[in-house]
A and B are shown apart, each in its own frame.
Chain A
Amino acid sequence: MSALRRPPVDVVTVGVGLTGSILGLELAEAGLSVVGLERGEARSTHPDFELPGIHDELRYAVRHELAQDLSRETLTFRNAMQQTALPMRALGSFLPGEGLGGAAVHWNGQTWRFLPWDFETRSQARERYGAAALAADCTSQDWGVRYADLERHFDRFERVYGIGGKAGNLRGVRQTGGNPFEGARSAEYPNPATPESHAGALFTRAAAELGFHPFPIPSANMTRAYTNPYGASLGPCVYCGYCERFGCEMDAKASPQTTVLPRLLAHPRYELRTGANVVRVNLDPDGKHARGVTYLDARGREVEQPARLVLLTSYVFSNVRLLLLSGIGRPYDPVANHGVVGRNYAYQCSAGVTAFFEDKVFNPFMGAGALGRAIDDFNGDNFDHAGLGFVGGGYIACDSNGARPIQSLAVPDGTPGWGSGWKRAVARYYTRSLGIRCHGSVQSYRTNYLDLDPTYRDASGLPLLRMTFDYHDNERRQVAFLAGKCVDIARAMRPSALSLPGPRGHYSIVPYQSTHNTGGAVMGADPTTSVVNPYLQSWDVPNVFVIGASAFPQNAGYNPTGTVGALSYWAADAIVRRYLPAPGPLA
């Protein structure tokens, strides 16, 4: 088929979500011409997120209007290599974005920095606990970049996204009220911490009573009106409780729309093209240089977009799938244990308890996506793991992020599943319960990976991505340990009843857990175990960069986006200051 051909540009970003918008703007400001190709539709606060229509739980939270349309493309899934992967026919475990802004339109906004330890998991764990600390089939590794290298990029991202929080470690000096375990920060958060809800206050008190160190979750929900370094104005959050899975009517949740796109879309050197589904990166015959990309436009026509620099900013799944479809990097083979593309897929391992109170009342519908209190005493290597049988950990939190009724009807154990008994419990406990959850890390393993499915295809006939993933003993022990701490904190609140989590079985694609998929195009200092070098540049095709959580060699016990944002600025900086003056491999 002879494709339509567009005029060449300096840079093309595949996807215009959180990472694509940041890279697009940084490179346009550096003087390059940039085209952003986004397969979904354009979206903006007005009219798409306006009241009253945006406060519609069924449409957005249950029917997932802002998430990916699986009828065109999904992935297939199995727990283990011996099984046949089947398509994820309905959204469940995670909700990838589609449309301008990506998932960062309907995210919650809990914006963490990974710990210094998280970037050196393998070497640090082995140094402190011996070579046996990681299981024989564990492929977790160091990132090739350290927290100290990323610090100013974390800071930059937090300023652009207007994060509200309280520092716990300013240039090595401990600050009261913040997270004492965090890596040293060069500056305070740009905005104050979120207010404390009733549930948050109970958590704070209970956690402190037990000797832990509670602090406010860092929040991308604006705690006051804010103007960011790009001149974008964000409104103050009104704690309406429609955050996760919704757009924000107040421009109070940091998203590409509220932080980066106003400047980017007005930029003379930038062009956004929506309805553009990129299907491959085109390479020179020698396979060592990218010529640009090919996409299918809204009419289904093949269009070629030549570019000097191709940035994959299309979230973990498309990043990895496009590498595989384009033949960039050696696909990972778990049997022979070589190759890299698709290797080290990881996720999150979480659990929670619900506490019920006869003598307290909450207004659980008030809140914001990142409004909550947490402790970090059991994350990373913040505690001694000797004898525990696992590495890693997670934060423990109590959120007030808006309990919409269809999806927030906790009832005490023993309540009938339906009928009058259920109705009575729901009426009583909707305002008399709170949840405490842990948010755990997942190490990487030889048998957890992404590749192309041999059977199932997308709407245009290309193979779907196949996910093979399950939890391992390290994660099962870790989540049991963290859940135990959740229970301790809940008990210290003296509730009238507690619903406890059961033991962790197989990973399931069905219930929502988190859109914190990681790996598959991991970064590292060794090309035999990484797809991209420490600057997120392809080892094989130096004018391709692969940006996002796809670069995480394993997942930490935090939400990913603070670190994804820092890596975006880190990569942009390397491109502008090192690659552009002398295009070629940076490592």
Chain B
Amino acid sequence: MTDRTPESPASRRAFLQSLGVAAGAALPVAGTVAAPAPSRPDTSSTIAPGPAYLTAEEMRFVEAAVATLIPADELGPGALEAGVADYIDRQLASPWGVHARHYRQGPWGEGAPQQGYQLPLTPQQLYRAAIAETNRDCLRHRGRGFDALDRAAREEVLTALEADAIALEAVPARTFFSMLWENTIEGFFADPRYGGNRDKIGWRLIGFPGVAAAYGGLLERHNEPYRVSPVSIDDVRARLVPTDAHGHPKHVPEPPSRETSR
């Protein structure tokens, strides 16, 4: 095992080069963490312009919520910039939005927490009802809808939902919050083809390479970070990145500007 400091960009570049990972840029590197706008049109977002399930008002709620849950900050763009609201909207329009692969026959009972999700509501119905009720609660107690609140107030509302401290009629507030938070994480880290993780913002943040390269020989290099420009499924399909015979992309090292900025 080597004693080189794992954080040194020089050792990282040397490491990547020693692996035969192209040090030049075969892959057009899209954007940087500091620049939220994608440098390339997101092909998946051109499939369905406009919301797929949510109304414009509901969309504003979801946008405000995800921007609060994973905010843009000194580390770079957040969930809003990553397209997480679009992701959630499209998931709601997908088979998952009607729990197509769940068992949905009654009778419906409440059960113990260990028995899992027992609501007859689908995600579509749950989002619709809970957004309307949360907005009504915000109007009543704060004089404006959720998306018009300032960040501190939005944080308070989300905290209250998470703690079940807002009484919603259609669905336990905590259930709504956990679905919203789970979907936010999904949208921030799923492959960009689902409409979120735009410009691979989520993957860049943590150093996840996306579609895997062949890592044989690399795994044994201990304490040496492997930071590359992440590759999406559509990058490979569009041949934006060279691949081996099995379709594993050849990763290129993350550009130095980003390495030094962290």
Contact = CB atoms under 8 A, between A and B. Distances in A.
Contacts of B237: 52
Instruction: Give the size category of A's interface with B.
Output: 35 or more
A159 B155 CA distance: 57
A405 interface: yes
B101 to A, nearest CB: 5
Given A69-B101, A430-B208, A363 B225 contact: yes
Given A71-B104, A363-B226, A431 B219 contact: no
A86 B101 contact: no
Interface stretch (B35-43, B128-136, B168-176, B181-189): B181-189
B165 interface: no
Contacts of B101: 63-64, 69-71
Contacts of B209: 365
Contacts, number: 201
Contact of A506 (B114, B185, B193, B210): B114
Interface string A328-372: 000000000000000000000000000000001101011100010
Contacts of A249: 246-247
A83 B109 CA distance: 12
Contacts of B75: 420, 423-424, 427
Interface string A68-106: 011101100111000110111110100000000000000
Contacts of A365: 208-209, 212
The prevalent SS among residues of B at the interface is loop
Interface in B150-191: 155, 158, 162, 181, 184-186, 189-191
B22 interface: no
A90 B102 contact: yes
A89 B103 contact: yes
Contacts of B202: 405
Contacts of A363: 215, 218-219, 224-226
Interface string B207-239: 111111111101110111110000001011100
B97 to A, nearest CB: 12
Interface stretch (A27-35, A54-62, A515-523, A577-585): A54-62
Interface string A200-211: 010000000000
A265 interface: no
Interface string B95-118: 010011111110101011111111
A277 B80 CA distance: 45
Interface stretch (A16-24, A236-244, A309-317, A564-572): A236-244
Contacts of B220: 195-197
Interface string B134-158: 0000000000000000000001001
Given A51-B243, A86-B109, A71 B6 contact: no
Interface string A424-452: 10110011000000000000000000000
Question: Which secondary structure dominates where chain A touches chain B?
Answer: loop
A198 B222 contact: yes
Interface string B53-72: 00000000000000011110
B143 to A, nearest CB: 24
B104 A426 contact: no
Contacts of A196: 220
Contact of A250 (B71, B207, B246): B246
A412 B146 CA distance: 31
A240 B212 contact: yes
B114 A455 contact: no
Contacts of B215: 238-241, 363, 366
A240 B214 contact: yes
B205 interface: yes
A465 to B, nearest CB: 12
B211 A55 contact: yes
A508 interface: yes
A366 B186 contact: no
A50 interface: yes
B208 A405 contact: yes
A406 interface: yes
A58 B210 CA distance: 12
A56 B247 CA distance: 14
Contacts of A235: 246
B118 to A, nearest CB: 6
Contacts of B214: 238-240
A456 interface: yes
A409 B211 CA distance: 18
A457 interface: yes
Given A52-B233, A420-B73, A423-B70, A62 B246 contact: no
Given A77-B115, A419-B68, A419-B71, A197 B219 contact: yes
B48 interface: no
A497 interface: no
Interface string A535-573: 000000000000000000000000000000000000000
A561 B79 CA distance: 41
Contacts of B219: 195, 197, 239, 363, 366-367, 371, 400
Contact of B185 (A70, A71, A90, A406): A406
Pick the 8 closest A-B CB pairs, nearest first.
Answer: A51-B247, A240-B212, A238-B214, A52-B236, A198-B222, A430-B206, A508-B114, A58-B190
Given A89-B102, A404-B208, 18 more contacts: A51-B236, A55-B211, A56-B193, A64-B101, A87-B103, A89-B117, A90-B117, A92-B116, A237-B216, A240-B215, A249-B247, A360-B6, A361-B7, A366-B219, A400-B219, A430-B207, A509-B115, A509-B116
20 contacts: A51-B236, A56-B191, A56-B193, A58-B190, A71-B104, A86-B116, A89-B117, A90-B102, A198-B222, A238-B246, A240-B212, A240-B248, A241-B212, A360-B223, A361-B224, A363-B215, A406-B189, A409-B206, A506-B112, A510-B114
